[in-house]
Amino acid sequence: MFHLALYSSSIGPSAALAQVTQVADPVIAPAGNGFLVGVLSKLMRVAGVGTDLTRAQLNSASLRDFAPFDVNPVNVGTAIESPARLCRFDDNPIPLAVNEELDAFAVQSNVGAQLARVAVWFADMPVRPFTGRMFTVRWTNATALVANAWTAFTPTLDNGIPSGSFAIVGARAISAGGLFFRFIPRGGTPNRPGGFAYQTQDGASFDGQRYGEMGEWMRFTNTTIPSIEMFSGLADATQQGYLDLVQVG
């Protein structure tokens, strides 16, 4: 299982690293301006995005046993690049210490202050890709998103799915200012798995988010379809996406 958490704040122009503040998260507790590492104590992925972002870094006591983790490449601009720039450790996640503070820092080159975002995927074990019969359903939504914050909504599926239980084994989300998305389960584990959101239909999906590459994200029944949270840089009015599913019961 995994959980997507996010740091986002405005930082000034400087050659020195500036701290990026955690975005309030209902699953992972805050610690200072960072997150308190929980039971999902392995770092599976990390990505930075900002208009003139030049550098991003993660820091914690256990990382400093070796060196703070510098994130490179980063996504430069107001959108996730195509293909997405990220650091992936799906097969060999980096262990963190439970209950330590994990902080994020960044550098940007503009003459004025700009928003910097650092996304972190926490996991409990290496990714186990799913292989088997999958099918994909499209969803749509029309919610006015709050810019630079997580906004929750209930997606509408284009087609009904059979009665039973399903596992999400891949997903894609598209919105005019979308940067990240994650699922909110209805019952079961509280973790909110997610990934990159794209702003156009042709945003490349070479990020491992589709067709079982990241294994099983979460499970639900046809009567408890999960809600979605999206983090956008704009007050988007419409959203759409795709779910890759496998029936498990």
Q: Using one digit for the tens of pLDDT, what is the confidence trace for 27-78?
A: 999 999 999 999 999 999 999 999 999 999 999 999 999 999 999 999 999 9
Q: Which of 3-7, 113-117, 125-129, 186-190 has the lowest mean pLDDT?
A: 186-190
Q: How many CB atoms lie within 10 A of CB 19?
A: 18
Three state DSSP letters for 51-113: CCEEEEEEECHHHHCCCCEEECCCEECCCCCCCCCCEECCCCCEECCCCCEEEEEEEECCCCC
Calculate mean pLDDT across residues 240-246.
98
pLDDT bucket at 170, cuts 50 / 70 / 90: very high
Can you tell me the distance from the alpha carbon of 235 to that of 224, in angstroms, rounded to the nearest whole number? Answer: 27
Residue ranges of domains in the chain, CATH in brackets: 2-123 (2.60.120), 135-247 (2.60.120)
Percent of the chain scoring above 70 in pLDDT: 100
* Res 187: pLDDT: 85
Calculate mean pLDDT across residues 134-154.
98
Mean model confidence pLDDT for the chain: 96
* Res 129: pLDDT: 97
Enter the tokens of residue 73. 């490449």
**Is a pLDDT exceeding 90 seen at residue 26?**
yes
* Res 204: pLDDT: 75
* Res 203: pLDDT: 85
pTM score of the predicted model: 0.97
Q: Using one digit for the tens of pLDDT, what is the confidence trace for 184-228?
A: 999 888 999 999 999 999 987 778 999 999 999 999 999 999 999
Q: Using one digit for the tens of pLDDT, what is the confidence trace for 84-95?
A: 999 999 999 999
Calculate mean pLDDT across residues 84-108.
97
* Res 206: pLDDT: 79
* Res 146: pLDDT: 97
Calculate mean pLDDT across residues 131-137.
96
Can you tell me the distance from the alpha carbon of 209 to that of 241, in angstroms, rounded to the nearest whole number? Answer: 12
* Res 160: pLDDT: 93
Sheet containing strand 227-232, edge to edge, reads: 150-153, 227-232, 178-184, 194-196
* Res 200: pLDDT: 93
What residue has token string 């209930």? Answer: 154
